[in-house]
Structure 1
Amino acid sequence: MGLPGCFQDYRGYADTHALGVALKALQEEGLDQLPLPGSGQTLARFGRLAQVAGHDLRLCKLFEGHVDALAIMAELDSPLPPLGSLWGMWAAEPPSAKLRVRRDGQRLSVQGRKAWCSGAAVVSHGLVTAWDEDDRQQLVAVPMAQPGVIVTDEGWNAVGMAATGSVDVVFDGAWGLAVGGPGDYLSRPGFWQGGVGIAACWYGGAERLAEVLREHCSTHAEPHALAHLGAVDSVLNTAACVLRASAERIDLAPQADARELAQRTRACVEDTVEQVMRHVGRSLGAGPYCKDPHFAQLMADLPVYVRQSHAERDLAGLGELVARAPTGRWQL
């Protein structure tokens, strides 16, 4: 199923408000009702994320956060979200921006600053990580339209992904409801399954860039451009195979620990993205950077989006798992 007709003619999104309008349109079309990870249709979920990413990575950032929040609440048996609600999923915890919560009857009182809250100005609810009185991490669902929630214009000076409005939000006695129990956010199987979904978003951006090169080569038989296209096809095919296999693994063992699977998949897709950007940029020259707004936006946004990876830190984590594995893991 493709995106609605209003998304086919790309004109860009001027600001966070415009992205919010587009996110609402996707929701109203029912396109946020994705199969849950591990439901037997995980590849379809990844495919929709890649599709939205190929349209616009900034919109995908908000869309992915929204559908991730919906999936988390479903996994943790939370009450159904309010009809028509739009969600942000905000789990970044730099030392200077960690939330605290205390119980106030059936509700939680949320206090502190949360960093990198994508789409905070346009979503109706935030699903945030915070820390309780016993220093345990707790997920909290917080309505944004209340006096104790202050969306700042601080903490976000990006050029790529600028319109996502990933600003700091201050919670000053705001109320929210617990989602799951302490520690559930990281311990649930869906945490690493969702990490593979992020790689599908990266892949969607790279796939769209590759299409620009393919379209060029279909009318310009330039040997060097064709060589770049061959290289792009090779790496994209590898990443696509890895994502398909990862979706299959998740569906076959939905309760399994998917950390190693996610870190390996993300490393593969990240490497693919870097190679696609290099080959496409070298083959097409300055023209599309300067004259094709969709191409130029993707080229500006994709390096920022991929930095959700922690680069060598993530590779080291994967290496630790591999070092403890038995001999023969790479045999055919």
Structure 2
Amino acid sequence: MTGVQADLSVVFIGDNRLDGAAAASLDEADRLDAFGADVAATLAWAVGAGAARGHRRSLAEDWAFLAAVASRDVGAARILEPHLDALDILDQASRDGDDVDLASIQADSESSWGVFAAEGAGTRLEARENGSGWMLTGTKPWCSLAQHLTHALVTAWVGDERRLFAVALQAPEVTPHPGPWHARGLQQVVSAPVDFHTAPAVPVGEPGWYLRRPGFAAGGIGVAACWWGGALPLREALVQAAQGDGADQLSRVHLGRVDAALWTARLALRSASHPTEGLATASHPGALAARVRTIVAGAVETALAESARALGPLPLVADEAHARRVADLGTYLRQHHGERDLARIGADVAEGRGAW
């Protein structure tokens, strides 16, 4: 993307630079040893970044911040994004008039959060209310960093509907699994099942609120902003290759393809973040979010494929940061479901939910 600095210290999605709190958080990240690789240190940084950013932010600022973190380290963005998403969910619940009793599960401004909403065959997490409150029983799959986090927002079944609950993960009634996790990308971000044995929990919103809330689509695009930011250094590596001695037309073809793809992805993010024409006023925000995620995922896939062809095997075996970025992005991108997500877009359009 034309105009992105070589050090990627500034990432633009909208028209404005990141505010002072976000810039200060990025400066702190640049001073951290093993940023993204050291889970405890990165989580502590994420908690501080979440506390510093405040509540009045634009989508463009949020997504640019996530992208800027991912440009530094994809693993760090994977750690940060769900924590910020959880804070946004809790803030939205408060604005909707839901007084969530976080003190009852010992959650405060120092808590680190995950969001566990996946379902899996053969597993089911159920919530029941007894005389002393709500209790969670069962197994939740794909719980990222559950062994490290203090708290999580978890979807559980109440009859035939899913409802969101806040729960303390360090409680004796909660048992995170250490695996299986044989990933080569995002090795440090273990995503494994968690068993809940009548664990005390606090409801967040009414049944179905989590999926219906306006911020659900924005959270999905936030993940895409991480993918996009994580791919920007691949473009920069192609710029350097195209400027090097002996660079030929092919090096410029690879760069051109990646530049055009990532530029298109930026335009999609920018359009969705527009305060009057984007996600905030969309009649069907889920359809818009699906389009943006698909465009961004395609652009990042292009960046991975073209950089592999252009740069060859050397950086994959001799450049630790590049090799880790490629592996991390490959794993992170699997949160996009490819043709299944395209089918959902097609269904939205066919059923009248995808007007331009």
Asked if TM exceeds 0.5, the reply is: yes
Preserved contact between residue 35 and residue 41 of structure 2 (Cα < 8 Å): no
CA distance 1:74–1:34, shift in 2 (3 Å): same
Preserved contact between residue 107 and residue 178 of structure 1 (Cα < 8 Å): no
Question: 1:226 Cα shift?
Answer: 2.0
Match of 2:161 in 1: 136
CA RMSD of aligned residues (A): 2.3
Which of 94, 115, 119 pairs up with 1:93?
A: 119
Match of 1:154 in 2: 179
Which of 96, 102, 117 pairs up with 2:143?
A: 117
What is the rounded CA distance, in whole Å, between the counterparts of 1:326 and 1:312 in structure 2? 19
CA distance 1:215–1:104, shift in 2 (3 Å): farther
CA distance 1:173–1:326, shift in 2 (3 Å): closer
Match of 2:44 in 1: 24
The residue type paired with residue 73 of structure 2 is D
Match of 2:204 in 1: 179
Q: Identity percentage over the alignment? A: 35
Which of 20, 27, 43 pairs up with 1:4?
A: 27
Partner SS, residue 195 of structure 2: strand
Within 5 Å, give how 1:15-94 maps onto structure 2: 18-28=38-48, 30-31=49-50, 33-34=52-53, 41-77=58-94, 78-79=99-100, 82-94=108-120
The residue type paired with residue 69 of structure 2 is V
Match of 1:296 in 2: 323
Preserved contact between residue 126 and residue 137 of structure 2 (Cα < 8 Å): yes
Which of 201, 207, 224 pairs up with 1:199?
A: 224
Match of 1:238 in 2: 264
The residue type paired with residue 312 of structure 1 is E
What is the rounded CA distance, in whole Å, between the counterparts of 2:148 and 2:286 in structure 1? 32
Which of 229, 241, 250 pairs up with 1:216?
A: 241
CA distance 1:252–1:184, shift in 2 (3 Å): closer
Deviations, residues 153-180 of structure 1 (Å, cap 9, x unaligned) = 1342222112101121111111110011
Question: Which one scores higher on RCO, CA 8 angstroms, separation ≥ 6?
Answer: 1
CA distance 1:317–1:104, shift in 2 (3 Å): same
What is the rounded CA distance, in whole Å, between the counterparts of 2:31 and 2:317 in structure 1? 21
Partner SS, residue 128 of structure 2: strand
Greater CA drift, 71-80 or 245-254 = 245-254
Question: 1:229 Cα shift?
Answer: 1.1
Within 5 Å, give how 1:304-315 maps onto structure 2: 304-315=331-342
Deviations, residues 210-243 of structure 1 (Å, cap 9, x unaligned) = 1222233334451221221122111111110110
What is the rounded CA distance, in whole Å, between the counterparts of 1:24 and 1:114 in structure 2? 25
The residue type paired with residue 199 of structure 1 is A
For normalisation by structure 1, the TM-score amounts to: 0.89
**Structure 2 unaligned regions, length at least 5:** 1-22
Preserved contact between residue 279 and residue 285 of structure 2 (Cα < 8 Å): no
Which of 273, 285, 289 pairs up with 1:247?
A: 273
Preserved contact between residue 47 and residue 83 of structure 2 (Cα < 8 Å): no
CA distance 1:258–1:289, shift in 2 (3 Å): same
What is the rounded CA distance, in whole Å, between the counterparts of 1:326 and 1:138 in structure 2? 25
